[in-house]
Amino acid sequence: MKNRHISFWFIAAMFSSSLAMAQNTVEPGLKAERQDSVKVDTLSGVLRESWVLKLQKQDSTSYKVDTVSILYERLLGVLDYLNDPSTPERYIKVDPGYYKMFVPFTYYYSPVRRVSRLTWKLKRPDAGQKRSDALLPFDTLAFTSIGRTNATVDRVLLDAYVECPDRIVRTEDEIQRWRLFKDNITQEASSRPSVLKLFKQEPMKRMKEDAQVTIRKPNWWMTEGNGSLQLTQNYISDNWYKGGESTVAVLGTLQLKANYNDREKIQWENLLDAKLGFSSAPSDTCHKYLVNTDQLRLYSKLGVQAAHNWYYTVTTEIKTQFCHSYKTNEETMISAFLAPVDWSASIGMDYKLNKEKITLSVVMAPLTWTMRYVGNSKVDETSFGLEAGKSVLHNWGSKIQPTLSWKITPSITFDSRLEYLTSYEWVRVEWENTFNFVLNRYLSTKLYIHARYDDSAAPTTGDSYFQIKELLSFGINYAW
């Protein structure tokens, strides 16, 4: 009976007792012989620090090694996680019913509760059976595997509690207070909403105030503009040894743009370009100031995309001036508002190139209609190619109009516009160039170079049809 109790204790102490505990249970006289004569098997050698060895004396010179694994194999079976390759056919699956014997030695209430209750009940005797046989024990749990497992574990633990009560390290209540791993799974699953709850109708909450929702349609329009006021001043005293005269020149410019782009097919560009400049004329006996720059231009271009950078294009342009213009020391009016006014309309193709610093547009219109109108009787219409007494002139021809905008540096920009117009009888070319040297947001220096070639009318001076005008100025500049 003593040996049976000790064997069951070794099973209950598996995975919880150290090798030092085992050595305390072995007789002191056997410790030295164990190192010399005992051959440790493979299983105990691998798990030497976790498994307990028990020595059984065979004779005066030899001892039999008995490990917990061998004892467990003899009583219950071989656990599959031991993975001993020498005995694969004898392995059994791990039975969770024996978990109480593989945790640190714990006092459970079930062993004592089992021996403290009656496991029999009175049965009615069958025919021919004695009444005394009806008092035999009757345990229904004995016919189930979990019942047999619990009974076996309770018997082992009860024997260990009686023989080695000092080995108990905790009680069942302490284990129940531990956090189980499945708690995380339960909590995580409970945080997910139920599928039925998603379809459950919730009561509508009445809002105290009406919600204000603003819906904005896409705005494909882009507007921008820039304006400048440039000043040029030159002072020369009356007794300056080389002579000369003091002059003052003022130039104002304004550009307004309204462009439509639906990012798919349609592009519509609209431009208002206005320039007006005056300069003093001390030597002019008829005028104190003369107009040196005067232009009012309205331009519109509608394009429908044909390919990647190509557009079917319809353009129209109106050009005239603001003020009356006179010759030096004369009262003869050269030009005036709507005298002349040039209006053109064309159909063609437009090639567009948009890069980070360069924007290029080249309009090629093989079909162009032009009209020139002189609406002031004081202006000589023949100087603009019209017949005497006529105020309107119509022509058909072709036009090529490249436009370039180049941001050379963050502080230097270059804008250029070239217009080549021909009626196959005359050619009119205008090339406007503007260099803008930005000092800061409000100050800049501008250089205007305007070249022109027109053989539709006789030149005012000489016989050359080529004309050029240049102006360098400094002043205020603002863009928005």
pLDDT in tens, the chain (480 residues): 444 444 444 444 443 333 333 333 333 333 333 344 344 444 444 444 444 444 445 566 655 544 445 545 555 555 554 445 554 444 445 566 777 776 678 888 888 888 887 655 555 555 555 555 555 455 555 557 777 788 888 888 888 888 888 888 888 888 777 665 444 444 444 555 555 555 566 666 555 556 566 777 778 999 999 999 998 888 888 888 778 888 899 999 999 999 999 988 999 999 999 999 999 988 888 988 999 899 999 999 999 999 989 999 999 999 999 999 998 888 889 999 999 999 999 999 999 999 999 999 999 999 999 999 999 999 999 999 899 999 999 999 999 999 999 999 989 999 999 999 999 999 999 999 999 999 888 899 999 999 999 998 888 777 889 999 988 888 998 888
Helix (H, G, I), strand (E, B) or coil at 274: strand
Q: What share of the chain is helix, strand, coil (3-state, %, to 5)?
A: 25, 40, 35
Q: Are strands 170-171 and 106-107 parallel, antiparallel or unpaired?
A: parallel
By C-alpha distance, which of 280, 304, 302 is closest to 292?
280
**Half-sphere exposure of residue 430: CA atoms within 13 angstroms, side-chain side:** 9
Domains along the chain? Answer: 2-180 (no CATH), 222-479 (2.40.160)
**What residues contact residue 64 under an 8 Å CB cut-off, 6+ apart?**
55, 56, 57, 58
Q: Could you tell me the maximum CA-CA distance found in the chain, to the nearest angstrom?
A: 163
Q: Quick count: other Cβ atoms within 10 Å of Cβ 204?
A: 6
Distance (Å, whole) CA 345 – CA 343? 7
